[in-house]
Amino acid sequence: MRTQDLGELNGPVLVFGGPYSNLQATQAIKAIAEQHNIPVQNIICTGDTVAYCAEPEETVQLIKEWGIAVIEGNCEESFGNDLGDCGCGFESGTQCDLLSAQWYRYAASRLSNDSRQWLRTRPQKILFSLAGKRFTVIHGSMEQNNHYIFASTSEEEKRRNLQQAGTDVIIGGHCGLPFYQQIGDKLWLNPGVIGMPANDGTPDGWYALLTPSAENSGLDIRLERLSYPFKDAAQAMVKQGLKAGYHQTLITGIWPSLDILPEEERKQQDIPLETGSILLL
């Protein structure tokens, strides 16, 4: 596994996933980082820089120039190596399969060689320490970058991954929905994605802020909403003919296909998620 070790970090850390070619959301998360004075070495993206939205090349170049750490998700792997589809492993003929064919073709036609080269050289695993805790950042699971780990995924599976990682926390991405779950004295955190809403009936994206607490030497982990000019992102998609469904999702906050969702997460559709925080001691 290509591993990047960021070493011991100080101060708040910003984590987010899935820019998904959404330039407006990416600009908004960069502005959040600037507002909080978070240095570039304390910012980590869980991958899928390129996907559904209208500006793949511009989004990659913005993140590349920003210089933050980015995990290789299935989309980085697919676009970086010209693999021909998004690598989610959708069954042929399912709605996700049909929808992804359009945005994959579009993004593949837009990416420069420089961007492809950057995408295929991202690390598959990132390690860091913060407030005495050790973290592993991956995209899907420890074994597979396109494996979905949801809040409803069994504790057993999360525990197995945490054991394999050998760290206090795993930060994962890929499933598109933010959540955290304590498993014994360990934690699974998915900071959510910025480039698509969380199927909760609101247009916001999600990110996480990890802030060392001065009083008790613990770590405050907070899931936050990202509001951004979502109508501009939707209009950019329409302008490029990307009208299969995700352009509406940016406005309605409802996914066009629930193929990938377990029953538990399907029941949460259209119910606004709560922001939340947990103190890790």
Among 20, 48, 148, 237, binds Fe ion (CB under 5 A): 48
- Residue 176 Cβ vs Fe ion, minimum distance, rounded to whole Å: 8
- Residue 107 Cβ vs Fe ion, minimum distance, rounded to whole Å: 13
- Residue 100 Cβ vs Fe ion, minimum distance, rounded to whole Å: 11
**Restricting to residues 60-99, which ones interact with Fe ion according to CB under 5 A?**
73-74
Note whether 124 binds Fe ion by CB under 5 A: no
Shorter beta-carbon distance to Fe ion: residue 38 or 189: 189
Note whether 174 binds Fe ion by CB under 5 A: yes
- Residue 236 Cβ vs Fe ion, minimum distance, rounded to whole Å: 21
Shorter beta-carbon distance to Fe ion: residue 56 or 73: 73
Q: Is 20 helix (H, G, I), strand (E, B) or coil?
A: coil
- In Å, what is the CA distance from 97 to each residue of 16, 51, 101, 140, 198? 25, 13, 6, 19, 20
The interface region with Fe ion, picked from 43-51, 204-212, 229-237, 264-272 by CB under 5 A, is 43-51
DSSP structure class, residue 157:
H
Shorter beta-carbon distance to Fe ion: residue 74 or 153: 74
Shorter beta-carbon distance to Fe ion: residue 12 or 173: 173
Owner of token pair 């247009």: 203
Q: Could you give the CA distance from residue 75 to residue 99 in angstroms, rounded to a whole number?
A: 15
Shorter beta-carbon distance to Fe ion: residue 141 or 202: 141
Shorter beta-carbon distance to Fe ion: residue 190 or 211: 190
Q: Could you give the CA distance from residue 239 to residue 254 in angstroms, rounded to a whole number?
A: 21
Shorter beta-carbon distance to Fe ion: residue 48 or 72: 48
Smallest CA-to-CA distance from 47 within 178, 153, 140 is with: 140
- In Å, what is the CA distance from 165 to each residue of 51, 157, 169, 188? 27, 12, 9, 11
For 13, phi then psi, to 5°, come to -120, 135
The interface region with Fe ion, picked from 4-12, 48-56, 192-200, 254-262 by CB under 5 A, is 48-56
The interface region with Fe ion, picked from 40-48, 129-137, 158-166, 199-207 by CB under 5 A, is 40-48
Contact 190, 260 (CB under 8 A): no
Smallest CA-to-CA distance from 183 within 213, 210, 164, 160 is with: 160
Q: Strand 205-212 and strand 219-226: pairing?
A: antiparallel
> How are strands ordered across the β-sheet holding 13-16?
69-70, 43-45, 13-16, 205-212, 219-226, 276-280
The interface region with Fe ion, picked from 44-52, 98-106, 151-159, 197-205 by CB under 5 A, is 44-52
Give the nearest residue (CB) to Fe ion.
174
Shorter beta-carbon distance to Fe ion: residue 38 or 111: 111
The interface region with Fe ion, picked from 3-11, 173-181, 194-202, 215-223 by CB under 5 A, is 173-181
**Restricting to residues 213-242, which ones interact with Fe ion according to CB under 5 A?**
none
Helices and strands (H and E) in the chain: how many = 9, 12
Residue ranges that bind Fe ion, judged by CB under 5 A: 48, 73-74, 174
